[in-house]
């Protein structure tokens, strides 16, 4: 089931809400643009990389702490941007206890696969209480799901060669016990609701006039 503009997806473990602005289906899978709302205390599910995808965060309000490439970048001004190059270890955190923070996130490359993994599979598992407190699937679910989506996301608590061996060894047992890399129920589960997209400030809107490669962005804060 294709993702559509205005659809709302929620991860109760990570306390994050995503509203679709430009889905992958409108860009041939090249890119997706999402509104990310982070409740106080919210976070991304573990330190991770996107092996082939670039991710760009642009703050609208509130504050985010984005750990990228071994350093923390604080986004606390409207229009402030940080780019996470493909293959770079990163994780974001809500950086205020006073309000829900709001940033626009653009993912360049493998966008449709990203929607399947994050919005469908991982958010679905979190909604059903089938992840740990950080929103990560258990060992057997991890084996089949992260093996299938290793081109989209890799957690970095263990070296990737070690994970690849572990996932390969555990995947047959996981499948025998009924674990699915792409749970059909989650792939067809509808959004939480359909929302009207917020109007973006000019200093944010102009960041998303075209693909990142056309904007000439470089890693770091803009």
Summarize pLDDT for 96-125 with one digit per residue, the tens.
998 999 999 999 999 999 999 999 999 999
Return the pLDDT at 209: 63
pLDDT band at 213 (very low <50, low <70, confident <90, very high): very low
Give the least confident one: 20-34, 36-50, 132-146, 199-213: 199-213
Q: Give CA–CA dist 171/177, Å, rounded.
A: 10
Q: What is the 3-state secondary structure (H, E, C) of the chain?
A: CCCCCCEEEEECCCCEEEEEEECHHHCCCCEEEEEEEECCCCECCCCEECCCCEEEEEEEECCEEEEECCEEEEECCCCCEEEECCCCCEEEEECCCCCCEEEEEEEECCHHHHHHHHHHHHHHHHHCCCECCCCCECHHHHHHHHHHCCCCCEECCCCHHHHHHHHHHHHHHHHHCCCCCCCHHHHHCCCCEECCCCCCCHHHHHHHCCCHHHHCCCCEEC
Contact yes or no for 140/174 (Cβ under 8 A): yes
Average per-residue pLDDT for the chain: 93
Q: How far is CA 29 from CA 13, 22, 38, 157, in A?
A: 27, 11, 25, 29
Contact 13, 88 (CB under 8 A): no
**Residue 3 scores a pLDDT above 70:** yes
In the predicted model, is pLDDT for residue 174 greater than 50?
Answer: yes
pLDDT band at 206 (very low <50, low <70, confident <90, very high): confident
pLDDT over 90 for what percent of the chain?
90
Instruction: Name the residue with higher pLDDT: 66 or 218.
Output: 66
- Taking only the tens place, the pLDDT of each residue in 182-192 is 999 999 999 99
Please name each of the domains of the chain with its CATH number: 7-217 (2.60.120.10)
Q: Average pLDDT of 71-81?
A: 97
The pLDDT score that the predictor gives to residue 222 is 40
Dist CA 137 CA 48 (whole Å): 14
Instruction: Please give the pLDDT value at position 221.
Output: 40
- In the numeric block, the tokens 């430009």 are attached to 22
pTM given for the model:
0.91
Average pLDDT over residues 138-151: 97
């Amino acid at each position: 089931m294709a993702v559509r503009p205005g659809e709302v997806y929620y991860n109760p473990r990570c306390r994050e809400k995503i509203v679709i602005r430009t889905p992958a289906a409108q860009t041939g899978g090249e890119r997706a643009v999402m509104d990310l709302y982070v409740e106080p205390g919210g976070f991304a599910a573990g330190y991770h990389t996107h092996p082939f995808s670039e991710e760009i965060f642009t703050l609208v309000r509130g504050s985010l702490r984005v750990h990228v490439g071994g350093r923390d970048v604080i986004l606390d001004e409207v229009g402030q941007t940080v780019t996470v190059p493909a293959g770079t270890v990163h994780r974001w955190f809500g950086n205020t206890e006073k309000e829900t923070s709001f940033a626009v996130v653009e993912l360049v490359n493998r966008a449709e696969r990203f929607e399947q993994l994050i919005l469908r599979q991982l958010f679905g598992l979190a909604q059903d209480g089938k992840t740990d407190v950080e929103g990560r699937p258990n060992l057997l679910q991890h084996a089949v799901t992260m093996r299938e989506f290793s081109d989209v996301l890799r957690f970095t608590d263990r070296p990737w060669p070690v994970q690849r061996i572990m996932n390969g060894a555990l995947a047959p047992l996981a499948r025998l016990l009924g674990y699915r890399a792409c749970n059909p129920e989650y792939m067809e589960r509808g959004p939480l609701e359909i929302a009207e997209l917020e109007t973006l400030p000019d200093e944010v809107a102009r960041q998303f006039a075209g693909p990142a490669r056309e904007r000439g962005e470089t890693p770091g804060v803009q």
